[in-house]
Amino acid sequence: MSARRKPQPGSDGEHLLQDQYGTRDRAERFYQDQMLDTLTPRMVEFLGRQTQVVVATADPDGRPDASVRFGEPGFVSALNERTVCWPELRGNGVMTTLGNLVKNPWAHLMFLDQDDRIGLHLRGEATILEAEDMLDAHPEVAARPQPGRAPERWVVLRLESSYIHCRKHFPRTDAPVDWGTDDVRAKGGDYFGAKATPSPWAPKP
């Protein structure tokens, strides 16, 4: 008998429209080939170069918010293959992102690398740590020198899924964008090495 795999990723709305518009087979291939519940070594290396991330959250009633965070290269750090963190600096005091997370811990991170024209999505459950607690738990990250005011607190995200954002619609100046292409190379191929990493949603022997 074959081993059981994780329940299919994605929302009920995704699955409804995949069936309605006949894209279920394409979606299944993406889930199995490119969606993981871990970070590949290439993803960790990619995070080490990033200087910005879009953080999407929602309040308990489902009202969404998206906010951008900036930092030195690698300010979003991999603690291990299933956990990332980022510092929260002093802001305007409104606390929309953290206010959402304290009531609804699900967050979605989106990284867009304009140099390599590729993106990375990370989704998971977040925990807010005060600066002193982060220093106790992860001194290798929290004690690193960084310019400016020290972080007031940190967010630690435990991954549910990680997957590529292909490059086919990224703007470029050296050639026209091939809108809507299905060419694997044009879309970025297996940029993060996901196919060589066991996916929890792929059939198992």
**CATH match of 36-167 with 2.90.10.10:** no
- C-alpha 151/C-alpha 136 separation (Å) is 14
142 pLDDT exceeds 60?
A: yes
Question: Contact at 8 Å (CB) between 154 and 87?
Answer: yes
- Tens digit of pLDDT for each residue in 68-89? 999 999 999 999 999 999 999 8
Domain ranges of the chain: 36-167
Is a pLDDT exceeding 90 seen at residue 119? yes
**pLDDT at 66 > cutoff 80:** yes
d(CA 62, CA 104): 9
**Residue the block writes with tokens 């807010």:** 128
CA-wise closest residue to 132 among 107, 152, 112, 149: 152
- Whether 171 shows a pLDDT value over 80: the answer reads no
Percent of the chain predicted with pLDDT > 90:
60
Structure pTM?
0.84
For residue 205, give every residue at least 6 positions away whose Cβ sits within 8 Å of its Cβ, in sequence order, or none. 2, 3
User: Cα separation of 92 and 157, whole Å?
Assistant: 23
Are the C-beta atoms of residues 27 and 77 closer than 8 Å to each other? no
pLDDT digits (tens, 9 = 90+) for 6-27: 677 888 999 999 999 999 999 9
Which band of pLDDT confidence, cut at 50, 70 and 90, is reported for residue 2? Answer: very low
User: Residue 121 has what pLDDT?
Assistant: 97
**What digits encode the pLDDT tens for the residues 30-51?**
888 889 999 999 999 999 999 9
Q: Which two tokens stand for residue 73?
A: 């290269």
Distances (CA, A) of 66 to 49, 59, 87, 104, 170: 22, 11, 17, 14, 20
Nearest to 98 by CA among 50, 156, 160: 156
Asked whether residue 1 carries a pLDDT value surpassing 50, the answer given is no
